[in-house]
Chains A and B, each alone.
Chain A
Amino acid sequence: MADAGSGPDAESDPDSDTGERRLSGTGVTPRSGVGTVVWHRPDAALDLGDPPEPDTVDPVAERERFHEAVAAAREELEAEAERARATVGDDEADVLDAHVGFLTDPQVESGVEDATDEGLPAEFAVREAFATHIETFEGMEGRMAERADDLRDVRDRLLRHLLGVERTDLGALPEGTVLLAERLTPSDTVRLDPDRVAGLATMTGGRTAHAAIIARSLGLPAVVGVGDDLESVAAGSEVVVDGEAGVVVLNPSAETRAAAEADESAPVRHERVQTTDGKEIEVAANVGNAAEAEAAADRGADGVGLYRTEFLFLDRDSPPDEDEQYEAYVVACEAFSGGSAADGGAGDRVVVRTLDVGGDKDVPYMDLDPVENGFLGERGIRLSLGAHADLFETQLRALLRAAGRVAADPESADLAVMFPLVRSVEELDAALERVESVAADLDDEGVDYARPELGAMVETPAAALTADRLADRVDFLSVGTNDLAQYVMAASRDVDAMDDLRDPLYPAVLRALARTVEGAHAGDAWVGVCGEMAGDPQLTELLVGLGVDELSMGAVTVPDVKARVADLESAAAAETAERALAAETRREVRETLGLPEE
């Protein structure tokens, strides 16, 4: 049931001294936060069960309840529409206006009243009255079937009011909210306002779930995979989310609370950082939109090492056109600076990854199949070379034009482009050919453009094993260690139970990484790491020691990693990396790096 709040259970152990209770999960952000719990229940467990006997129901009172719920829902919808008009735009607001229309529809009203007259409680009457209309719309085609979703949405809103179930508007949570949910989708988390959210925790998911990655890029304290115990946390209670230790603390003591509030990162530094012996390491951020790029620049990132363009394609009915993409890429580059004396003349760089869908990233209008386009299916560059060739061409046009624009602007970062999930030299060559053909088209049309720096992502064992060949063809390689770990270890990111196997600290993954760095340098390419491990300051020494040139991470840890780089000495780091590579087990690797046992 939706209702939270039960007694302590056997899994968690209450501390008898302080009354604290700790629920463990996987920490995904090395941050702590304290706040008030709001539960996010999108499908709100609005299960009603069986209706009571009709003669126990007061039809007049039920009718009254229904009308009160309609009035409350209407007020809420109108407020949301007003806010949407001010923030996201008219389209969203119009949808909410249409919902008011359905909510106050006389056919719905008479349907509900007929049912309450027959002795059904208001919530059952609402369910019944909507069921017919939902079915009618579902039976129709195309856009009419979509209206069934609107009706369901309106019905659920009414049910939430009737059942007193909290609903959360993720864009407008009260300040100091700790958001709890069974799971959060990527589109849920991108709507979160990091200034209002003190932390989040979910029942399911692992370290590399996309929700976790986005929480990290927003800098939110987050713990995932807490399990069913999380259900026992009551809405409105005060908790601490400790993303470092991976625990949610209930009834936090004054000390725990104070520690969470005092949690601060290393000071922000905007200049490039070098090891003590002068080796410069680029510390960049992973972002999904222009706002995140700006936030990353504020945290001192030396550019963007991974711009996930998928988010331009999500939450809409059709793909963004060339001009919209062009604008988005230019704006992201403008968040960073061109070359300046303080940076030794080196300008920032924004690495844009071409559309990477498939795996667990779905885009409704692209007709992706969970298996055919799953982790071992057609995804990444292969879709761009095949089924989505037209989208790829549009994106490349926008990217080349944007590269031309920012190259001409000394105030702006330069743009680079990389291709996701490359598995073979053939795929990379085909992608590079597309770039050439788009460049030729733009030449013919007399449109301004520039050839950006080009790179390939190394996420598959195939790419790692042939890194030298790939590097011969491009300017850089970028290692996505989350996917690389999943594929090297054959441990799907879909399966929580395999979470421990997807650790990049398994010797097999480290070897793949080392081979990639060697291959990149042999092919005169620079090499970056943009997986989760790049943002863990405890692993900075290992990566620098392996010879990685650029680290790209959720913006929140940029200052910590910069601070760590500035403390390192290259030779010592290389020695550490060598010892880690010589280790036989993950446990030994962790020991070598001075990490606690998992």
Chain B
Amino acid sequence: MERVVTVVPEEGLHARPASKFVSTANEYDSEVRVGRAGDGNTVPANSMLAVTGLDVRGGEDVLIIADGEDAEAALDALESLLSSPVEEDADG
């Protein structure tokens, strides 16, 4: 099962969004991989090093592939994560 999602957070798959992405992917039993949409290369979504290493920027499309019983739920959760902008800090 796979899905193409546009990365909304300005910083892309980096820092806070990257670490949220990895920890969310780890909550599911499915094997999840992620890569830039259209370039055929994906990396394991459970690796902070690999995900950060993609250097995906805000506005780019990523391909998420999930394989397992809860694949649909995992894709839903990851899509919703990448579709919401990072909230502004309350204390600026």
Chain A residues proximal to chain B, CB less than 8 Å:
89-91, 94-95, 97-98, 100-102, 105-108, 133, 136-137, 140, 143-144, 147, 324
Partner of B89, one of A89, A102, A108: A89
B55 within 8 A of A: yes
Q: Would B89 and A101 count as touching, CB distance under 8 A?
A: no
Residues in A whose Cβ lies below 8 Å from that of B16: 94, 97-98
Q: Would B50 and A94 count as touching, CB distance under 8 A?
A: no
Residues in A whose Cβ lies below 8 Å from that of B14: 143
Q: Would A98 and B55 count as touching, CB distance under 8 A?
A: no
Q: Would B15 and A108 count as touching, CB distance under 8 A?
A: no
Q: Would A101 and B18 count as touching, CB distance under 8 A?
A: yes
Residues in B whose Cβ lies below 8 Å from that of A324: 92
Residues in B whose Cβ lies below 8 Å from that of A102: 48-49
Q: Would A98 and B53 count as touching, CB distance under 8 A?
A: no
Q: Would B19 and A107 count as touching, CB distance under 8 A?
A: no
Residues in B whose Cβ lies below 8 Å from that of A133: 49
A91–B48 Cα distance when bound, in Å, is: 18
A143–B53 Cα distance when bound, in Å, is: 11
Residues in A whose Cβ lies below 8 Å from that of B53: 136-137, 144
B44 within 8 A of A: yes
Q: Would A105 and B89 count as touching, CB distance under 8 A?
A: no
B57-90 contact mask (Cβ, 8 Å, vs A): 1 or 0: 0000000000000000000000000000000011
Given contacts A90-B89, A101-B48, A102-B48, list 20 more A-B pairs with CB under 8 A. A94-B16, A94-B19, A95-B15, A97-B19, A97-B23, A98-B16, A98-B18, A98-B19, A100-B19, A101-B19, A101-B22, A101-B23, A102-B49, A105-B47, A108-B49, A133-B49, A136-B53, A143-B14, A144-B52, A324-B92
Residues in B whose Cβ lies below 8 Å from that of A143: 14-15
The interface on chain B, measured as residues whose beta carbon lies within 8 A of the other chain's beta carbons, has a size of 20
B91 within 8 A of A: yes
Residues in B whose Cβ lies below 8 Å from that of A101: 18-19, 22-23, 48
Residues in A whose Cβ lies below 8 Å from that of B47: 105-107
A101–B22 Cα distance when bound, in Å, is: 7
Q: Would B22 and A106 count as touching, CB distance under 8 A?
A: no
Chain B residues proximal to chain A, CB less than 8 Å:
14-16, 18-19, 22-23, 44, 46-50, 52-53, 55, 89-92
B61 to chain A, nearest CB (A): 20
What are 8 sample pairs from A and B whose C-beta atoms fall under 8 A apart? A90-B89, A94-B16, A95-B15, A98-B48, A101-B22, A102-B48, A107-B49, A107-B50
A101–B50 Cα distance when bound, in Å, is: 11
Residues in A whose Cβ lies below 8 Å from that of B23: 97, 101
Which of A91, A95, A105 has the most chain B CB within a 10 Å cutoff?
A: A105
What residue of chain B has the Cβ atom nearest to residue A98's Cβ? B19
Residues in B whose Cβ lies below 8 Å from that of A94: 15-16, 19
Given A94-B19, A97-B19, A101-B19, CB of A89 within 8 Å of CB of B91? yes
B91 to chain A, nearest CB (A): 5
Residues in A whose Cβ lies below 8 Å from that of B50: 105, 107
Residues in A whose Cβ lies below 8 Å from that of B49: 102, 105, 107-108, 133
